[in-house]
Amino acid sequence: MKKKADQVSVAAQIPNTKIRAHRFSRFGHDIVDNYAWLKAANWQDVLQDPSCLPDDIRKHLLEENSYLEQALSSSKKLRETLQQEMRGRIKEADTSVPQRDGQYSYFTRFVDGAQHGQFWRTDHATGQEVLLLDADLAAKRKAYFDLGDTEPSPDHALLAWSADDNGSEYYTIRVRDLSTMQDHKKTLKKTSGDIAWLNNSNGFYYIELDSKHRPVRVKRHVIGNKGPDEIVYEERDPGFFLSISMSQSGAFILIGANDHETSEVWLLDADDPKAVPRLVEGRSPGVQYEVEHWNDKLVILTNADGAEDFKIMCASPEHPGRANWTDLVAYRPGTMVLTMLPLQNFLIRLERENARPRIVVREATTGAEHEIAFADDAYALGIDAGREYDNNSLRFIYSSMRHPSEVYDYDCQSRERILRKRQEIPSGHNPDDYCVARLLARAPDGEYVPISLVHRKSTPLDGTAPCLLYGYGSYGHAIAAGFKTDPLSLIDRGFVYAVAHIRGGTEKGWRWYQDGKRDKKPNTFTDFIACAKHLIAQGYTRPGHIVAHGGSAGGMLMGAIVNMAPELFGGIIAEVPFVDVLNTMLDSDLPLTPPEWPEWGNPAASAAEFETILSYSPYDNIKAQPYPAILALGGLTDPRVTYWEPAKWVAKLRATMTSGGPVLLRTNMDAGHGGASGRFDRLEEVALAYAFALTAIKPEAFS
């Protein structure tokens, strides 16, 4: 394969992926998969112990990694420069805003040079600060380490904490005695990592994963218990995942069971060490709800009664069933209620209208409401639940695409907002040097797709600028128009950085999500292509100068759009890309497949859903045509998008494409879905992606 001069260099030795044809038939289609062998028969063992990977597959993945380094060898200096730049924007010695919890406040602190944070608390009676857990020390001599939950017991004598040390998302829970700083001998393995304490501090609830990596059992651990922990609830439907959380009031532990369309909640009395779960409302197809406790009532965020964009209802804890639900915040079409936070005297909700978020505060006694106002056209907004219920203060986090994030404490009674922290950029950042814009691209069916973008004021908008266009568009996940430091390395080199708010997300409400799933999934792809064409038409860039970027389900987007419109793109960055959609959705043994059927369809049970997925599945639709340069990134222990998906995709692309490329694959042999875990190690992967973008599109930007 040949590339244009001065662009990504190609090594002489492209890995030769062996062909071992695997054939199967379904609904009248005969399908040949030449690279199915890259899926290890013992993949479940590999998740827990990567050394179990068969030698031939390991050899192939390492050859791919070696080829990538050869192909990008000319960008080695650039990658180092980018990594240094991005690290220079991180305040290495940094501390989070403390969260008050009675006598104590808890916070995270980073020290210079540390990859991971430290968990601290302050005793307000003495003013003493105490280090409770040093994650950097716990990660020592580990190739991967992710700190999960850190939950102090209600009496503040113990700390339950969880960690994953190979990227497979199997978390081990430990309990630390804060008087001795020693961990108890008993550990709880193969958990989701989530922890919810009993109010008496004598035990906590957690979720155990089964052999297929699915969260299926809620267990109660009693401190000091050396035998098996009691199973409190077990989910029998493989299509439903479990979650646990403590209500903000501290009265209930909430067990959630859900897929992507349906949910149900069970209540556990947090004061009762032998509590039995009580069902709020049984699952009904298509009905979703979340529960919180607010003074004398349950508050329920739900789409019941046709409330497509959700509303808030209430019921008594004694009679929680749907027959007793009454409206508290009525449904308003086009205004999507995203989440709610009860404080004793106020109920706060975060909602979004016309792709803009806002916070609404409701008084408990009068029902009067007011909004917290923001001036920018495009911004990101989040609320922090904190650790206290009897409190009139709300913490929220605000940023825009050019303004670093700010943490505020807002007094819901006086309406005063206090800036607690502004993100510092040690290497310097002037928001006035940048322009932010919101565009609307017309999709083929007439819908208007929002685009958020940022560029330097000095960047010419005459079609000559390169562009990085990011997209996701699945699971109802909305991409916020917030501040990110890493893309500045592209923006400051003349790139336009744009986010396509395509269907499959909820930027324009729940309908926006519904119009980008199952049989309507192709709208996600045509929306993204429409955004690319609109950026070209408006003079922001030109064909062949766009690098498309997406990860996970966004990586599936990358595979689809490059099959459909390769001429628009100069490069594709696909991180942990979900590209083998048909084969994955046919394999019910994979961790996420049954819960994903409501999102994508079940091609094993429905001929129509088989046909739909087959029509767009990136791996199955690779064509004999030119393709741009492609970078695929995978993780060996990824339980969400398994390593073989990008490996198979890359092999088939090379074997089918007529020209273009190169097509590159890097598998992180020490990590899973999120890539490298350390805050600085992760920058190496980002630098690789951005160096790839620069060398593919704008080689003159560096020497």
Catalytic residues: 552, 638, 673
| CB contact at 8 A, 455 and 471 | no
In the three-class reduction of DSSP (H, G, I as helix; E, B as strand; rest coil), residue 93 is classed as coil
Helices (H) and strands (E) in the chain, counts: 13, 41
Spatial distance between the Cα atoms of 273 and 222, rounded to a whole number of angstroms? 9
Site of tokens 């190979």: 166
In the three-class reduction of DSSP (H, G, I as helix; E, B as strand; rest coil), residue 133 is classed as strand
* Those residues with Cβ within 8 angstroms of residue 58's Cβ, 6 or more apart along the chain or in another chain: none
Nearest to 325 by CA among 347, 301, 349: 301
| CB contact at 8 A, 317 and 293 | yes
Spatial distance between the Cα atoms of 568 and 535, rounded to a whole number of angstroms? 11
Q: Using CB atoms within 10 Å of the CB of residue 463, give its burial: 0 to 12 exposed, 13 to 18 middle, 19+ buried.
A: middle
Helical axes 644-656 vs 55-71, angle rounded to 10°: 60
Beta partners for 500? Answer: 451, 471
- What are the residue ranges of helices labelled H in 353-454? none
Nearest to 388 by CA among 251, 250, 290: 250
Spatial distance between the Cα atoms of 133 and 119, rounded to a whole number of angstroms? 5
Joined tokens for residue 359: 């916070």
Spatial distance between the Cα atoms of 550 and 558, rounded to a whole number of angstroms? 6
In the three-class reduction of DSSP (H, G, I as helix; E, B as strand; rest coil), residue 463 is classed as coil
- Residue 382 sits at the vertex; the CA angle it makes with 379 and 385, to the nearest 5 degrees, is 170
| CB contact at 8 A, 524 and 503 | yes
User: Which one-letter amino acid corresponds to residue 262?
Assistant: T
DSSP calls for 618-671: GGGG--SSEE-EEEEEEETT-SSS-THHHHHHHHHHHHH--EE--EEEEEETT-
Kindly provide the b/e burial profile for residues 432-442, where b requires at least 16 CB atoms within 10 angstroms of the residue's own CB: eebbbbbbebe
Joined tokens for residue 147: 């700190």
* Those residues with Cβ within 8 angstroms of residue 85's Cβ, 6 or more apart along the chain or in another chain: 427, 488, 489
The DSSP 8-state label assigned to residue 316 in this structure reads -
Spatial distance between the Cα atoms of 245 and 205, rounded to a whole number of angstroms? 9
- Residue 99 sits at the vertex; the CA angle it makes with 95 and 104, to the nearest 5 degrees, is 105
User: Which is it for the CA torsion 500, 506, 511, 517, positive or negative?
Assistant: positive
N-term to C-term CA, the chain: 24
Characterise 352 by phi-psi region: left (phi > 0), alpha (psi -120 to 50), beta (else). beta
The DSSP 8-state label assigned to residue 568 in this structure reads G
- Residue 699 sits at the vertex; the CA angle it makes with 696 and 700, to the nearest 5 degrees, is 155
Count other Cβ atoms within 10 Å, centred on residue 109.
Answer: 16
User: Which one-letter amino acid corresponds to residue 402?
Assistant: R
| CB contact at 8 A, 617 and 564 | no
| CB contact at 8 A, 525 and 564 | yes
Kindly provide the b/e burial profile for residues 641-665, where b requires at least 16 CB atoms within 10 angstroms of the residue's own CB: bbbbbbbbbbbbbbeebeebbbbbb
